[in-house]
Amino acid sequence: MSPGPHPASPGSYPSGGPFPTSGGPHPTSGGGSYPGGGTPSGPPYPSSGGGYGPFQGAPDPFGEKQEGWTDTPYGFAAPPGRRIEPSPPPQRSRLFVGLLAGLVVGLLLFGAGGFFAGRATAPKAEAAPAPAPTSTAGDSLGVFEQNQVAVNSPDFKGTALTTLAEGWLPYLSTCSRPKPNGGEKVRVRCTLDGMSAIFVEYESVAERDKARVKAMGQAVDARTLTPGVAPAAERSTPSGRTTGNYLEYAYRLTEGGTTRTVSGMWWDDAQTPVAGYLLAYWEEGLGEKWEPMRDLWSRYA
């Protein structure tokens, strides 16, 4: 690209030239001198000639011109003789490929060496200790609870109530088999912390559901009799042993001339015709709160 036009005379610049008129190293008039000696007879630029530069067509400003040397377009002299050919530029793509290959090889060698060095110097891993034998549910029970399981199990033997009552056996007392009611096959009645725990195997699922419908009617009364009653729902027991219907209910019971409120909690197994329920006096047994009964159910059901 052409460097562009340059002024032919100092009049082309607003102040008479590209250099300052006074106080500078290159005065355009007056008694100043150029680095090569002498005084200028005209402007610092030639009035004609091609090329660009303040030294175009003038002697080398950095020394005497030597015989056989030629002026360069920019004022620098070059010696005569054989022309020196410039070296071709390095092929950057090959250089980059070579560097990359060397880096990959170095990483591979370093990684392999580090791996074997680590294997040689790493401490030998100790054998993991054998896991401690896990205890069964029976082993975790105390002497009293184990005895209660042994005492209560015969009342549930040969029935479909074993799974439903399994979590309760260590804590039940005074279990017995009273005469079954209509539609029932087996009834086992026990006590637990002042409550009654009753487990029933029905003649069929339909008979079991009929008994649940009666309890559902009493669940409506519980909204008034026992505030805070939970709504009926289908759910699994906390232990996961059974899944079926859960509901809380209440009713009034008169005994010996005294009428009291009884709160009840029902749960059953949808797969078999069995159900269990807890009964307690609302005021004397639970202190007019559902939480004590719910706590026992969450532990053992």
* Residue 113 confidence (pLDDT) above 90: no
| Residue 32 in domain | no
Tokens of 158: 């040969």
**Pairing assessment for the beta strands 243-255 and 77-78 based on DSSP bridges:** unpaired
Whole-number Å distance between alpha carbons of 111 and 113: 5
> Considering only CA atoms, which of 247, 252, 246 is closest in space to residue 282?
252
> Considering only CA atoms, which of 265, 273, 270, 244 is closest in space to residue 185?
273
| Residue 61 in domain | no
What tens digit of pLDDT does each residue of 150-159 get? 999 999 999 9
| Residue 189 in domain | yes
Number of structural domains in the chain: 1
Burial class (CB in 10 A: 0-12, 13-18, 19+), 292: middle
| Residue 107 in domain | no
Confidence of residue 107 (pLDDT cuts 50, 70, 90): low
What tens digit of pLDDT does each residue of 142-193 get? 999 999 999 999 999 999 999 999 999 999 999 999 999 999 999 999 999 8
| Residue 190 in domain | yes
Which residue would you say has higher pLDDT here, 206 or 129?
206
**Pairing assessment for the beta strands 233-236 and 195-202 based on DSSP bridges:** unpaired
Question: Which range among 81-95, 202-216, 249-263 shows the weakest confidence by mean pLDDT?
Answer: 81-95
SS3 string, 97-148, reads HHHHHHHHHHHHHHHHHHHHHHHHHCCCCCCCCCCCCCCCHHHHCCHHHHHH
| Residue 20 in domain | no
> Considering only CA atoms, which of 227, 288, 237, 228 is closest in space to residue 266?
237
In one-letter notation, the amino acid at residue 66 is Q
| Residue 183 in domain | yes
* Residue 41 confidence (pLDDT) above 70: no
Which domain does 245 fall in, by range? 142-300
| Residue 23 in domain | no
What tens digit of pLDDT does each residue of 8-29 get? 444 444 444 444 444 444 444 4
pLDDT at 92: 55
30 and 22 Cβ atoms separated by less than 8 Å: yes
Buried b (16+ CB within 10 A) or exposed e, 61-70: eeeeeeeeee
